[in-house]
Chain A
Amino acid sequence: MTRRLSRETLIKWAPLLVLLALVIFFTALNPTFFSLRNFARIAIASAPALMVAVGVTFIIVMGSIDLSMEGTISLTAVAFAFIFAQFGGSLGGMGWIAIPLVLVLGGAIGLLNGIVHVKLRIPSFMASLAMGFVGTGAAILLTGGDIVKVSDAAFRGLLTVRWLGFPLMVYIAAFFLFVAWFIQTHTTLGRNFYAVGGGEDLAHASGLNVTRVRVTGFALAGVFYAIAAILVVARIGQAESVTGSNFMFVSITSVVVGGVALWGGIGGVWNALVGVLIVGVIDNGMVVIGLPDFVQDGVLGLLVIVAVVLSTDRKMVSFVK
């Protein structure tokens, strides 16, 4: 009992302490790290990753995993660019229609993902990995391997228009983080994620429609991936079939490092935020103190293992595949 509590406390606060320590560490090595300009840089880099992380957080809370984000982001990003161009290529005109359409598309991909996982009874990591490949394939198909530019000034305003030093896209990400928090704490769906993650059999025995909760969770994650895709396009001004690359590793790392237990039921969107910031600060900090950026993948890989080990209650797990 006490062990459990102390573990919970640790999971709750350790990530935040790590984040603070990192900030202090990098600031000590290079004071320019601690500046509004640099924080804005971290925020811009982290905004899309945050949306992905928030999406996958819901899935991990359920005790499942979603590895489809790369494919989903690539496909929705490319689809956004095309639809945006189709409707005049400007936010000022009819281009805005692309946004809701792409969100629906993301949700649909997630829905399909969930259905494949639940109805065919395939473990989620494999079902979603395969769906991710399909998504990337579809993105290649649409673009033929080309890059699609999105240069509408109004749309790029998400990056260029700043308010208190931070560009608009950061506020948008913050807004959707708030939405995710609201879903997590104030809706039946959000709470049901925790019920499924805490004890699927028990939830089922209590009369919860676990299948529906799972499928809805994947659809919701898909919507967040689509938001991430739009933010990425806004940031780099283009979409292609590799737009989603590396988001899988970064987002899973963030969520796990932030303290969302891989076994489900523990953690939430705030953990995702802290995790994304930890990863963002490490990325940025390494550049600021002059370390080559390729060390990141290795460091993050090790960090993930440490985080999973810390968050695992060994007494509960008999064996692991």
Chain B
Amino acid sequence: MDIQRLKPHLPWITLVVLVAIVGFTDPGFLRPSNLLGLAGDIVPLFIMALGLTFAIYIGGIDLSAQSMANMVTVIASVYLASMGAWVAVFCVAAGFLLGMLSGYVTTRLFVPSFISTLAIGGVAFSIAQWLSGQRALNMDAVQRNETFGWMIGRTWGVPHELLIAAVLVAICLFIERRTTLGRALKAVGAGELAAAASGLNVARYKILAFAISGALAAIAGLLFAVKLSGGAPTIANGFLLPAIVAVLVGGTPLTGGVGGVVNTVVGTLIVAVIRASMLYFEIDATRQQMVFGIVLIVAIALTIDRAKLRTVK
């Protein structure tokens, strides 16, 4: 079997194999309620990964996603009382605008995206600390349930987070497959110079990709804040690594152009199963970061398109 032809199928094969192994050793794992719960828990992470998919799809990276989510947890907690449901709009807009800023700095000022997003992440972190007064904040429980309670309930045993995730996947999938934006992003990721030579406004599309990434990171932060009923400037720390891992093990390479939303769904499920299995096999939770770091290296090495990198720096 040709490895190149097998490559696009590796992610879901990995997922099936992992589920089979864990399910075989622990039959309780495969109970629908357990699987649903597992999937529901990973939704905030998934939404962040979904956003990162866009940044990585065009061959960039968004290292600000985690700080963005942190900031949003704070914004949501601080302004829920005064703005009510509008705070959600405010949060997403903030994420979108900061993402746009990263995109602008990357494309117009020629700052590599890993630096620009790191820097914008620093800005977001400052805002979070400033708004929160460097404390952990709590939402008013009654008000939270009134405004955002619908986000975290269950209907017929299905966590509402999953429904939110499904809606977002549908939207992102539509963007990716059916809109000029999605097509342009694919062209930019697969062959930026050809896209430019075809008369596309490459810079605008790249800025939009970072903006979408920022907006989704904000939604992830919002959902997280609602789940925890509060926010803090470091509350979402630890999201970035698994989110990047989810995108990459899903099969969207760091070099961009292939993969996409569906891949990230599969990738996130792989991350969820790895996490769950570590619990079942009684691998200390503290080792997770190490495991994910190694998984990350393996995933990059397997997916990256070396023909696109003239020199690897």
A and B touch in the complex (CB under 8 A): yes
**Is the CB of B178 closer than 8 A to any CB of chain A?**
no
Q: Assess A133 versus B290: contact at CB under 8 Å? Given A297-B125, A300-B122, A321-B60.
A: yes
Number of interface residues of A (CB under 8 A): 58
The reply to whether B304 and A130 contact each other, CB–CB distance below 8 Å, is no
The reply to whether B304 and A125 contact each other, CB–CB distance below 8 Å, is no
Q: Assess A304 versus B119: contact at CB under 8 Å? Given A130-B293, A141-B284, A294-B134.
A: yes
Complex Cα–Cα for A201 and B311 (A)? 8
Q: Assess A317 versus B110: contact at CB under 8 Å? Given A127-B300, A141-B287.
A: yes
Residues of A within 8 A of B192 (CB): 319
Choose one: B123, B134, B301; the contact of A301 (CB below 8 Å). B123
The reply to whether A320 and B106 contact each other, CB–CB distance below 8 Å, is yes
- Please report which residues of chain B, range 106-149, place their CB below 8 angstroms from some CB of chain A when the two chains form the complex: 106-107, 109-116, 118-123, 125-127, 129-130, 134
Q: Assess A121 versus B309: contact at CB under 8 Å? Given A296-B126, A298-B126, A301-B122.
A: yes
The reply to whether B311 and A200 contact each other, CB–CB distance below 8 Å, is yes
The reply to whether A305 and B109 contact each other, CB–CB distance below 8 Å, is yes
Interface size class of B (residues with CB under 8 A): 35 or more
What residue of chain B has the Cβ atom nearest to residue A127's Cβ? Answer: B297
**Is the CB of B5 closer than 8 A to any CB of chain A?**
no
**Is the CB of A124 closer than 8 A to any CB of chain B?**
yes
- Closest chain A CB from B212 CB (angstroms): 17
Q: Which of B61, B119, B193, B287 has the most CB of A within 10 A?
A: B119
Interface string of A281-319 (1 = CB under 8 A from B): 000000000001011111111101100110010100111
**Is the CB of A96 closer than 8 A to any CB of chain B?**
no
The reply to whether A124 and B300 contact each other, CB–CB distance below 8 Å, is no
The reply to whether B290 and A301 contact each other, CB–CB distance below 8 Å, is no
Q: How many A-B residue pairs have CB under 8 A?
A: 161
Complex Cα–Cα for A302 and B105 (A)? 10
The reply to whether B254 and A298 contact each other, CB–CB distance below 8 Å, is no
Residues of A within 8 A of B309 (CB): 121, 123
A interface residues with partner B (beta carbon < 8 Å): 63-65, 67, 71, 116-118, 120-127, 129-138, 140-141, 144-145, 200-201, 249, 252, 256, 262, 264, 292, 294-302, 304-305, 308-309, 312, 314, 317-321
10 A-B pairs (CB sep. < 8 Å): A65-B313, A130-B296, A130-B300, A131-B293, A131-B297, A134-B297, A136-B289, A137-B292, A200-B313, A301-B122
B interface residues with partner A (beta carbon < 8 Å): 58-61, 105-107, 109-116, 118-123, 125-127, 129-130, 134, 192-193, 196, 202, 241, 254, 256, 284, 286-294, 296-297, 300-301, 304, 306, 309, 311-313
